Structure 1
């Protein structure tokens, strides 16, 4: 499972729906998007079959994304099906956390290993403003529900936006001194139709680390014991959790990219911000083997993204590909 540049691809992000119960400023237009027709969306059995065909080629790690994956009915059943596939070692979930208090134990029992919770504020009024929905989200309750269910490690993803939530980075970092959670600050990625958020809203990772260092000395750290992503981690002395930064704008990490993405309608996208993709759904529904298509996709996977040039491959919103 090597691409044309010798990168080992063992990680698949699976978007199970394009829909979301939030309308986060950096992710989806407030009016939403034209939703995919139901017949175009992969059934759980089809997702499972795709993974079953790719696992013998070296696929080992999966992440379920959306939109918001927990709003698709019976997500637990998909986790169970994927967990039963030989070769799959790790299943993670990216979620806004709204439904975690109700779903965490069932997901853990089905085989979910890890969870990433998107949380861009600790203040209810700001959560409502950034998400442009008021669903009563409580980060602490969501993370504790996952922790109590035995899902670990727990990562908290914070998209930092200047003038919107950047004054909370110290408060988020402080959580890692009290809980065994891993807070990751992500540089804003202005894309598609969401360009009311611009370079002026980007807070570089160096500035973020400088601000949170006011809490105490930060030391380089390995971060959580399991993970697939490009975060660089630090830790306060004696802290049970860690602080990470993800830097798509100031320091690209394309040279170590280990992933591809499966969209909700069955397109294998080889770069989040590229325009290269291979349609798997149609071949799957015709009963054709997927290996030739997957090998073609890896042979054409681009060397790096073009986000800094604002060329994002027709991507209207991050919600379309699960971020």
Structure 2
């Protein structure tokens, strides 16, 4: 499925919920948000219907996100149903890890292919400052459980905010001691992220090279998205960077996003898209649903304009409501 710029759109990110058991400073207010009523978010059958239609148009990879997807009870059976769809080659999960250890055995039975664990620091005090919760032991337990499955691809996602350099070095060290990849994700000026100054790739890379030596770029493709990776001597895994601002990658973007309320977005920055929930609950045909998905994909914007600071239909929701 090509958009009007010739990009092959084969990756769908699905937010299962706006709810989360953390309150990360760049994602959600301390007091939480006005939660969407459960009747207003897509149920399992509706999500599967969207994914079936999308797969017939060329979507082959699906990522389940939140909020925190594992707080929603449908996650495990949904993975199983999505894996059974013709054309879907990979179903993966992004989680904060708190509930991962207890749910992972059933997720693996359902066919989960990979997991990304959001973890910004290994220091308990800094973790609590960032997440406003004391849950680091549970997250580390989830990470340990994930590493116990040889067939499961594991990545750690770190968003550099106000962590000291030592914390970033320590997080990167997970890829030295374990067969996993650590990715540093540049802060996006969306929602509460606007309150932080992004720490760019070159800055983080310099910190890591002082600690671990020279980083060698690799052309390996180790996931569905735009991350580019480096090798380090004596590291089992790779260090990656997702740098949407300092290393803009819109020309190779291959994704669209479905919010928990059933709105399909072509680009993270803009509110343009299609209300698939309204179509489904209005009794639309499969052909009408596919046409709506196809239109969003074809009209996907050329790229974001965060740096140009242009105005025009910018996203007004926070990341927890969009799907991280």
- Count residues in correspondence: 318
**2:58 alignment counterpart:** 58
Is 1:211 equivalent to 2:207 in the alignment?
A: yes
Residue 210 of structure 1, CA deviation: 1.0
Aligned 8 A contact 1:193 1:316 in 2: no
State the alpha-carbon separation in 2 of the partners of residues 3 and 148 from structure 1. 39
State the alpha-carbon separation in 1 of the partners of residues 234 and 225 from structure 2. 24
State the alpha-carbon separation in 2 of the partners of residues 128 and 234 from structure 1. 29
Q: Give 3-state SS (helix, strand or coil) of 1:160's partner.
A: coil
State the alpha-carbon separation in 2 of the partners of residues 222 and 63 from structure 1. 22
Q: CA, structure 1 residues 149+262, in 2 after alignment: closer, same or farther (shift >3 Å)? A: same
**1:44 alignment counterpart:** 44
Spell out the pairing of 1:113-124 with structure 2 (5 A cutoff): 113-124=113-124
Q: CA, structure 1 residues 137+274, in 2 after alignment: closer, same or farther (shift >3 Å)? A: farther
Q: Which whole-Å deviations, capped at 9, do the CAs of 1:106-159 have from their partners, x for residues lacking one?
A: 111101000000001101121111001223445442222112134532110000
State the alpha-carbon separation in 2 of the partners of residues 220 and 196 from structure 1. 31
Aligned 8 A contact 1:122 1:139 in 2: no
Does 285-294 or 43-52 show the bigger shift? 285-294
Spell out the pairing of 1:301-316 with structure 2 (5 A cutoff): 301-310=300-309, 313-316=314-317
Residue 316 of structure 1, CA deviation: 2.9
Aligned 8 A contact 2:97 2:140 in 1: no
Does 251-260 or 280-289 show the bigger shift? 280-289
Q: Give 3-state SS (helix, strand or coil) of 2:13's partner.
A: strand
State the alpha-carbon separation in 2 of the partners of residues 21 and 70 from structure 1. 10
The match for 1:249 among 245, 268, 272 is 245
State the alpha-carbon separation in 1 of the partners of residues 205 and 192 from structure 2. 29
**1:98 alignment counterpart:** 98
Q: CA, structure 1 residues 32+308, in 2 after alignment: closer, same or farther (shift >3 Å)? A: farther
Q: Which whole-Å deviations, capped at 9, do the CAs of 1:60-106 have from their partners, x for residues lacking one?
A: 00000000000001411111111110110001100001111111111
**1:87 alignment counterpart:** 87
State the alpha-carbon separation in 1 of the partners of residues 156 and 58 from structure 2. 28
Q: CA, structure 1 residues 235+135, in 2 after alignment: closer, same or farther (shift >3 Å)? A: same
**2:227 alignment counterpart:** 231
Normalised by the length of structure 2, the TM-score is: 0.93
Does 58-67 or 227-236 show the bigger shift? 227-236
Q: CA, structure 1 residues 66+296, in 2 after alignment: closer, same or farther (shift >3 Å)? A: same
Q: Which whole-Å deviations, capped at 9, do the CAs of 1:186-237 have from their partners, x for residues lacking one?
A: 112232245332x3xx2110111111112122222245x6411111111112
The match for 1:278 among 255, 274, 277 is 274
State the alpha-carbon separation in 2 of the partners of residues 222 and 154 from structure 1. 19
Is 1:178 equivalent to 2:177 in the alignment?
A: yes
Q: CA, structure 1 residues 322+98, in 2 after alignment: closer, same or farther (shift >3 Å)? A: same
Q: CA, structure 1 residues 152+315, in 2 after alignment: closer, same or farther (shift >3 Å)? A: farther
Q: CA, structure 1 residues 263+129, in 2 after alignment: closer, same or farther (shift >3 Å)? A: same
Q: Give 3-state SS (helix, strand or coil) of 2:244's partner.
A: coil
Q: Give 3-state SS (helix, strand or coil) of 2:195's partner.
A: coil
